[in-house]
Structure 1
Amino acid sequence: MPEKSTIQAAKASFLPAMRELVRTYQAFSSYSEAHVRQFDLTPAQFDVIATLGNTNGLSMGEIGEKTLITKGTLTGVIDRLIKKQLVIREVPQDNRRNVIVQLTDQGQELFEQSFPSHIAHLKERFDLLQPTEVEVLTNLLVQLRQAFQK
Structure 2
Amino acid sequence: MENDLLGQPAQMEKLIREICSKIKSEGRKVLKDFDISPAQFDVMQIIYFRGPKMLSDISKRLGITKSTTTGIVSRLETMGYLTKEKSPEDRRVYMVNITQKGKNIIEEVIETRVKLIEKVYNKLGDKVRTIEILNEINKIMNETKLS
TM-score, normalization: structure 2?
Answer: 0.64
Aligned residues of 1:33 and 1:42 also touching (Cα < 8 A)? no
Instruction: Name the CA distance, whole Å, in 2 between partners of 1:15 and 1:38.
Output: 36
Task: Tell me the amino acid that sits aligned with residue 86 of structure 2.
Answer: V
Aligned with residue 70 of structure 1, among 43, 48, 63: 63
Does the C-alpha gap of structure 1 residues 21 and 148 become closer, same or farther in structure 2, counting only changes over 3 Å?
farther
Displaced runs of 4 or more, over 6 A: none
Greater radius of gyration (CA): 1
Alignment partner of 1:29 is 2:24 = yes
Q: Which residue of 2 is the match for residue 48 of structure 1?
A: 43
Q: 2:110 aligns with which of 119, 123, 131?
A: 119
Q: Any idea what the Cα deviations from partners look like across 1:17-37, whole Å, max 9, x if unmatched?
A: 222222223222221222233
How far has the Cα of 1:94 moved from its partner? Answer: 5.3
Question: Shift in Å at residue 99 of structure 1?
Answer: 1.1
TM-superposed CA distance for 1:57, in Å, is: 4.3
Contact preservation (8 Å) 2:54, 2:94: yes
Deviation at 1:135, TM superposition (A): 4.2
Distance 2:83 2:11 in 1: 45
Give the Å deviation of 1:140: 0.9
After TM superposition, the structure 1 = structure 2 runs for residues 94-109 of structure 1, keeping only pairs within 5 Å, are 95-103=90-98, 107-109=99-101
Letter in 2 for 1:139: E
The CA RMSD measured in Å over matched residues stands at 3.6
- In the alignment, structure 2 segments of 5+ residues that lack a partner are 122-126
**Deviation digits for residues 50-108 of structure 1 (CA, Å, limit 9, x no counterpart):** 4545999443356568xx623535334213313434323222465133211234xxx42
**1:12 is matched with which residue: 7, 10, 24?**
7
Determine whether 1:134 maps to 2:125.
no
Residue 38 of structure 1 and its aligned partner are, at CA, apart by 2.1
Overall identity of the aligned pairs, in %: 17
Structure 1: tracts of 5 or more residues without a match: 1-7
Report the alpha carbon displacement of residue 122 of structure 1 after superposing the two structures with TM: 1.1
Q: 1:146 to 1:84 in 2, by over 3 A?
A: same
Q: As a proportion of its length, which structure holds more helix? A: 2
